[in-house]
């Protein structure tokens, strides 16, 4: 597929140029003179655009403008802020196809998944609109006569958002749409591997904000490598940093933000498992396991990494998996007949190869062999074969998250052992059990069951809906994004007591006479 043709299609529809400013305070784009960030599509290895990185000086300018914007934005009624977000959702509906194609082409996920990611953005806009009319606090009874107590939530300030390449637009929207209806300003640092999708989103937001006279600085964009992330993390002017990415990155962000007593919302790596009971529906199991393992070429934080299968059905399940893998079509993700696209870049391919070597060195057996694909259609060097390896749960490589389509399978005999294996990794994001046994399902969901932030029954580990809070425990970071009451992370809580009498009784019956 020729780059020139693409520029006349979805890239042009999104208002992107060959040379793009990468720093914005809303309507203003800043020419920083910073280093060029060139975006190469893993689909064909071609350059699809250049984005100018943010310098330290430009970053400071952005933060100052975001602070000014926040001071005005926080005073807008929350439903009015929600109305602006509603219009963003409408603009995303209008541009769903070109933006979905850009996500697919710049990141490498299938077109269906690219379009699905934009739909997640639309869904979170809808969620945020409703939320804007119910940012509720609690009321409580005072022990003192003539007193009323309640709590309320106020906008927090300027929120820094650091997102990863694998969901280049959806995770930003999970944070920003909620933060905006809460009254915060946002500064977004996208992955340097997917800068064009971020510029496209900023342009979409910019049009809606300008039409509604939203203050300058409420939506800001900065681009660059880890150095920009460090500026955000160490900046005391930003009370909250929401970071999505690797556990290694999250530990660095958490330490920097914690040192200044700021807040961090961390959504980090996963090492997700499906327990396959002898009472599982095997047709459902194979569908869930295959999509979970190969969707987005294994580059989801919720990708299925491990399959823990009961002894009695182990051979049947692995045979069915091997048969299903033979039917996978790997190639250009914009071709909807293909199931699996490329890995993000050559560094990801190298990690994939190292993981395969580590499995072999540990004594693992490959049920489905892996390898890098070559030849026509695979010129970028980023296409790999999804593979399946028989392993032990405690092997170092199995304990580690490899962002690639490698599925580890292992056996169990008792449900207690399966749950222990599921929990026996440093990460705690997503988990699932396939079973028709109510007792097994409830045990898996009980306090002694899965220790993950997400625990599913008879569905896979990926494909979370925006209505529920998204995130996990242990080295996954403990943060929660998207639905439920995740909005509280973007606000500050305040307890209020009102005395409507002519006396001043003290709490706990304390007497203070003079």
Torsion of CA 358, 244, 174, 289, to 10 degrees: 10
Helix ranges, 382-414 (H): 396-399
Residues tagged active-site: 267, 301
**What's the order of all strands across the beta sheet hosting 185-189?**
219-221, 185-189, 158-162, 240-244, 263-267
> 432: which 2 tokens?
């699932």
The DSSP line for 263-310 is EEEEE----EEEEE-TTS-HHHHHHHHHHHHHGGGG-STT-EEEEEEE
**Three-state SS at 1:** coil
Partnered with residue 493 across adjacent β-strands are 153
378's CB contacts (< 8 A; 6+ apart) are 331
The Cβ-side half-sphere exposure at 393, using a 13 Å CA radius, reads 22
Measured CA to CA, the distance from residue 429 to residue 301 in angstroms comes to 8
**In contact, 156 and 185? CB cutoff 8 Å:** no
407's CB contacts (< 8 A; 6+ apart) are 289, 293, 304, 305, 306, 307, 321, 386, 387, 388, 389
CA–CA distance from 9 to each of 331, 422, 432 (Å)? 20, 45, 40
Measured CA to CA, the distance from residue 25 to residue 23 in angstroms comes to 7
Partnered with residue 52 across adjacent β-strands are 36
């Amino acid at each position: 597929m020729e780059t020139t043709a693409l520029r006349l299609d979805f890239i042009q529809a999104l208002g992107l140029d060959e040379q793009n400013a990468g720093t914005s305070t809303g309507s203003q784009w800043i020419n920083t003179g910073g280093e060029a960030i060139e975006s190469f599509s893993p689909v064909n290895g071609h350059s699809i655009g250049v984005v100018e990185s943010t310098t330290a000086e430009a970053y400071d300018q952005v933060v100052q403008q975001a602070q000014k914007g926040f001071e005005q934005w926080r005073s807008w009624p929350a439903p009015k802020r929600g109305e602006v977000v509603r219009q963003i959702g409408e603009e995303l509906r209008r541009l769903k196809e070109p933006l979905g194609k850009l996500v697919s082409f710049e990141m490498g996920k299938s077109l269906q998944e690219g379009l699905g990611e934009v739909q997640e953005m639309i869904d979170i806009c809808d969620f945020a609109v409703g939320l804007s009319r119910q940012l509720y606090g609690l009321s409580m009874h005072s022990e003192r006569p003539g007193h009323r107590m309640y709590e309320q939530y106020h906008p927090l300030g300027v929120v820094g958002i650091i997102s990863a390449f694998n969901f280049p637009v959806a995770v930003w929207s999970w944070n920003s749409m909620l933060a905006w209806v809460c009254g915060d300003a946002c500064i977004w640092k996208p992955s340097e591997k997917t800068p064009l999708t971020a510029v496209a989103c900023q342009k979409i937001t910019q049009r809606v904000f300008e039409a509604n006279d939203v203050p300058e600085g409420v939506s800001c964009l900065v681009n660059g490598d880890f150095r920009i992330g460090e500026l955000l993390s160490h900046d005391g002017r930003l009370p909250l940093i929401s970071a999505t990415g690797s556990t290694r990155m999250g530990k660095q962000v958490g330490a920097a933000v914690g040192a200044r007593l700021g807040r961090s919302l961390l959504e980090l790596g996963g090492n997700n498992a499906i327990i396959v009971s002898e009472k599982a529906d095997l047709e459902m199991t194979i569908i869930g396991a295959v999509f979970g393992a190969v969707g987005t070429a294994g580059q989801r934080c919720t990708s299925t990494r491990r399959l823990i299968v009961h002894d009695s059905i182990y051979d049947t399940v692995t045979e069915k998996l091997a048969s299903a893998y033979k039917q996978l079509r790997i190639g250009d993700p914009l071709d909807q007949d293909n199931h699996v696209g490329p890995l993000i870049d050559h560094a990801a391919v190298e990690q994939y190869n190292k993981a395969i070597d580590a499995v072999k060195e540990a004594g693992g057996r490959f049920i489905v062999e892996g390898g890098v694909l070559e030849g026509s259609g695979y010129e970028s060097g980023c296409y790999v074969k999804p593979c399946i390896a028989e392993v032990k749960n405690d092997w170092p490589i199995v304990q580690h998250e490899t962002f690639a389509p490698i599925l580890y399978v292992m056996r169990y005999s008792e449900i207690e052992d399966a749950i222990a294996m599921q929990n026996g990794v440093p990460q705690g994001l997503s988990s699932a059990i396939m079973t028709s046994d109510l007792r097994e399902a409830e045990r898996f969901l009980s306090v002694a069951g899965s220790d993950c932030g997400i625990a599913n029954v008879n569905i896979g580990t990926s494909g979370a809906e925006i209505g529920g809070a998204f995130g996990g425990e242990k080295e996954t970071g403990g943060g929660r994004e998207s639905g439920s009451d995740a909005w509280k992370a973007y606000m500050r809580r305040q307890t209020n007591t009102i005395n409507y009498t002519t006396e001043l009784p003290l709490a706990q019956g304390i007497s203070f006479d003079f």
